[in-house]
Amino acid sequence: MRAHDGSTSAGTVIEPPDGSAARAAIEAYRGATIVVLGFGSQGAANALNLRDSGMAVLIGARPGRGDHAARARGFEVLDPVEAAARGDLIVFAIPDERHAEVWADIHAVVRQDAVLGFLHGFSVCAGTLRPAPAQPLVLVAPKGPGAALRARYCEGGGLPALWCVRQDDPQERGRRAARAWAAGIGAMRAALIPSTFEAETETDLFGEQAVLVGGVLALIRAAFDVLVDAGTDPAVAYIECAQELRQVADLLYARGPSGMMEAVSSTAAYGGFAAADRIDTPALRSTFRALLEEIRDGRFTGRFLADGAAGAPAPQAARAALRASSLESASALVRSWFPGTDRGPGAAADIDPP
């Protein structure tokens, strides 16, 4: 059941086919200036989508790559402080651990009735960014990287996003800003899902630690080592345990878990179901619960911020060890055999959306 603004009974907004909910949300914010601070992965995609949706966008960037890229795409770019002074909605499209220092620079010029926008709830939940109690805060967290946000929008679609408003004012400036922002980046064409800063932050951190980044790395590394120790050629081990992940991920994305298990061969399905039960041990679940607990009670945040304050030695050391590993050399060789890959170890992907 959908209300006139596209809301379903569960509170998730899904755009009616005529696009009326997004148009109404954008129209209700006509005349407002959206300042996007930073022009990296999310900043570029958000700014380009918002501009193409007819909204007034101004970029706040320090001199450097983002500043250059924004100017090349025809945006007006100002220093973050000058830009923030002009924002009705100020979107923090800068790394989470930098929010506090940028807020320290800009807070004196930010209007009392301006809305602060976040793409991830980390800095608000960690308390590193402390806005005035009357300042509306909104979260619009797209569920995907900037390049995908831009690509889906250009195809006429969008990415789902979690959203919420905190400490809104009586004029509901926060709610209007969040809905216009979400509509402008195309999120309503997919699904705009109600959340809270805490829930978005917790689930995002947990998902990347347990599965998307930490879990996948651990599985690949352990399986690769076992095969190579047993005498398998490292390149073959890498193809089997890492490179082919893409096909399975695509199946999962398109068809869901049971569709993926139906699409694989009968040997893969039989062995896969049996192995999943053996890998999914009480010890694994206990590790997952510990990760979640440490996110919830702030231990992860404390460690992350302390590491960042010391110049991020932990991820730097881990990256250096990974680059020097046999897994990485096997990867470089294997990627040189496959189309559409970055050649060479450590080559950075082009995250610039079109």
Ligand X SMILES: NC(=O)c1ccc[n+]([C@@H]2O[C@H](COP(=O)([O-])OP(=O)(O)OC[C@H]3O[C@@H](n4cnc5c(N)ncnc54)[C@H](OP(=O)(O)O)[C@@H]3O)[C@@H](O)[C@H]2O)c1
Q: Which is nearer to ligand X, 105 or 225 (CB)?
A: 105
Active site residue 4: no
- 198 touching ligand X, by CB under 6 A: no
Stretch that binds ligand X, among 32-40, 71-79, 221-229, 261-269 (CB under 6 A): 32-40
- 96 touching ligand X, by CB under 6 A: yes
Phi, psi of 163 (to 5 degrees): -145, 155
Stretch that binds ligand X, among 33-41, 124-132, 150-158, 262-270 (CB under 6 A): 33-41
**Residue 70 near residue 76, CB atoms below 8 Å:** no
Q: Which is nearer to ligand X, 50 or 93 (CB)?
A: 93
What value, to the nearest 5°, has the Cα angle with vertex 224 and ends 218 and 226?
100
Nearest approach, Cβ of 97 to ligand X (angstroms)? 9
Q: Output the CA–CA distances (angstroms, integers) from residue 78 to 36, 37, 134, 176, in the order listed.
A: 10, 10, 26, 25
- 41 touching ligand X, by CB under 6 A: yes
Q: Which is nearer to ligand X, 70 or 260 (CB)?
A: 70
Residue nearest to ligand X (CB): 40
Amino acid letter at 184?
Answer: G
- 107 touching ligand X, by CB under 6 A: no
Transcribe 104-146 into DSSP letters.
Answer: HHHTTTS-TTPEEEESSSHHHHHTSS---TTS-EEEEEESS-H
- 66 touching ligand X, by CB under 6 A: yes
Q: C-alpha 210: how far from its chain's center?
A: 16
- 184 touching ligand X, by CB under 6 A: no
303 beta partners:
none
**Residue 178 near residue 140, CB atoms below 8 Å:** yes
Q: How far apart are CA 46 and CA 107, in angstroms?
A: 22
Q: How far apart are CA 122 and CA 126, in angstroms?
A: 6
Nearest approach, Cβ of 108 to ligand X (angstroms)? 16
- 94 touching ligand X, by CB under 6 A: yes
Q: Which residues bind ligand X (CB under 6 A)?
A: 38-43, 62, 64-66, 80, 93-96, 98, 101-102, 119-120, 141-142, 145-146
Active site residues: 120
